[in-house]
Amino acid sequence: MLGLLAVLVVIFFTAVTGLSRAYQAQRQSLGSRWFSRGVVDLQARRFDSAITEFRSALLYSRDNYAYQLNLAEALIGLKRTGEASSYLVNLWDRQPEDGLVNLELARIAVQKGQTEQALRYYHNAIYAAWSTDQEDRRRDARLELIDFLLSTNTRAQAQAELIALEENLGDDPTQQERVGDLFLRTQDYEHALGAYRLSLKAERDNGAALAGAGLAAFQLGRYPQAQRYLQTAIAENAGNALIAERLKTTELVLAMDPFRRQISVAQRHKIVVEAFDTAGKRLQACSAARGAALPTATQTSLGNSWAKMKPRMTEGELRRDPDLVEAGMDLVFEIERETSATCGNPVGADEALLLIAKLHEAS
């Protein structure tokens, strides 16, 4: 009897174990089915359906990490960040090195205006342990961080992140173009130009990269280089007003600079006379624009100097006295700087003269 009972107990235990395993397998299968449906809807941005399906999956596997993470992403899709945050914080406690969890927490912190938390989570995401097939997510996390830093006007830190990104970016032309755009926004024009050049090595007719390179070269005062890039870019972007305006200014700078090489003496003298007249008109217009306000002492002094020098500012006098070229242009530059400070940024020829002044002020 004892032996028979022992056999029955073993049989009963085996049956119960088998039934339990079958039950658990059935639950896992049902959870997996709901999860698979949720993933499809999440990728199709059907967030309502995805939330229902992920919640159904969690009924069969309450602590499943992947189910909770995808549910949090679906909740974020519907901007239900409060619910999503509670799931993500729980997941972060379980795996604080998870890159995607940190990235989603950073995005929520950005929405809430929590700058310090956003920076911490972004850095956690950047240095997290991403799988090989998710390595692009690390780069995207850094790009998001850079965008966030620029939105908060933290340019120096954004520039440092960009330099770190550039070192590991490779030669992908699309990514180099994007980095060039970001460097432009940080006003790091040297690195921007370098990134655009790398992009153009692979795609020589890339209009956006040509325009970016032209704008960067313009800001660096490399006007012949800027002209080449902008002329090519305008052919690819005929309706771009900014490129057209920068190209026009660049051409004015090159045409109105009397100190550039490879121009004749007669040409230089003609340019100086025209620049002197342009500066005089700017000074008069600036004084008139001030209305009832009296001209500044500096403007009065510059006006007297201009009137005194005007009779000598002819091509013949410039031939007889070559030193007058530099004296005349010094006065032109002073007038353009003063009127820019008191009457606002100049346009056209006056803008070109101001840029020429900046170009030669160190020489």
Averaged pLDDT of the chain: 88
Q: 11-25, 34-48, 54-68, 95-109 — which is least confidently predicted?
A: 11-25
Residue 355, C-beta contacts closer than 8 angstroms, at least 6 positions apart? 221, 249, 253
Q: What is the 3-state secondary structure (H, E, C) of 237-251?
A: CCCCHHHHHHHHHHH
Q: Half-sphere exposure (CA, 13 Å, Cβ side) for 276?
A: 26
Q: Are 257 and 356 in contact (CB under 8 A)?
A: yes
Report residue 339: phi and psi, to 5°: -70, -30
Residue 153, amino acid: N
Nearest to 81 by CA among 127, 33, 113: 113
pTM assigned to the model:
0.79
How many Å apart are CA 162 and CA 195, to the nearest integer? 11
Residue 257, amino acid: D
CATH of domain 154-256: 1.25.40.10
Tens-place pLDDT, residues 117-134: 999 999 999 988 887 777
How many Å apart are CA 153 and CA 307, to the nearest integer? 45
State mean pLDDT over 324-335: 94
| Domains of the chain, residue spans | 154-256, 265-360
